[in-house]
């Protein structure tokens, strides 16, 4: 059972013969009531402050928990972004490598085609040269034959 300042102020004692001085007891009780009332109000104020501070502590604890969760999520997101970037760069490098290999293959094919065409042209030129050489030799033989025939004809006229 808690005693309030009103309980102390309204407390009445039995009056006995040869008891304490009533005025002195009343004065002392008034001092006690005033001091108890001050302490009682201070106690209520302190309880309210404690309650308020506990609410704030709970609020800040919730904020701390939220911030920790947010930090964990941010770290996870950063790691995922880093991993995605790494995978994307690997894909880009692989695509670049594949494309460069394709370009090199195409360049090699084109070079081989050009060399093959050049070799074919060389063969054609050599064939044409051989044909012209044969034709020249044939012409030379005929011309020599004609000249010899003409010389013979001239010699016959002499």
Q: Mind listing the pLDDT tens digit for each residue in 107-129?
A: 999 999 999 999 999 999 999 99
pLDDT bracket for residue 154 (50, 70, 90): confident
Give residue 107's pLDDT: 94
pLDDT per residue as tens digits for the range 6-16? 877 787 777 77
Give residue 68's pLDDT: 95
Give residue 18's pLDDT: 73
Largest CA distance in the chain: 204
Give residue 13's pLDDT: 73
Give residue 12's pLDDT: 76
Do 73 and 45 meet the contact criterion of CB atoms below 8 Å apart?
no
Q: Spell out the domain ranges in the chain.
A: 5-121
Do 9 and 29 meet the contact criterion of CB atoms below 8 Å apart?
yes
Decide: pTM greater than 0.85. Answer: no
Give residue 9's pLDDT: 79
pLDDT bracket for residue 1 (50, 70, 90): low
CA distance 93 to 63: 44
């Amino acid at each position: 059972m808690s005693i309030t300042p009103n309980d102390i102020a309204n407390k009445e004692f039995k009056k006995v013969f040869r008891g304490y001085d009533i005025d002195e007891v009343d004065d002392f009780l008034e001092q006690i009531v005033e001091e108890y009332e001050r302490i009682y109000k201070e106690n209520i104020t302190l309880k309210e402050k404690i309650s308020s501070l506990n609410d704030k502590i709970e609020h800040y604890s919730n904020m701390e928990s939220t911030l920790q969760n947010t930090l964990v999520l941010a770290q996870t997101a950063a790691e995922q972004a880093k991993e995605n970037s790494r995978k994307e760069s690997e894909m880009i490098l692989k695509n670049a490598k594949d494309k460069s290999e394709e370009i090199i293959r195409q360049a090699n094919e084109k070079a081989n085609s050009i060399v093959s065409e050049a070799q074919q042209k060389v063969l054609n030129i050599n064939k044409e040269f051989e044909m012209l050489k044969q034709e020249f030799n044939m012409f030379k033989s005929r011309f020599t034959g004609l000249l010899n025939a003409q010389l013979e004809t001239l010699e016959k006229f002499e």
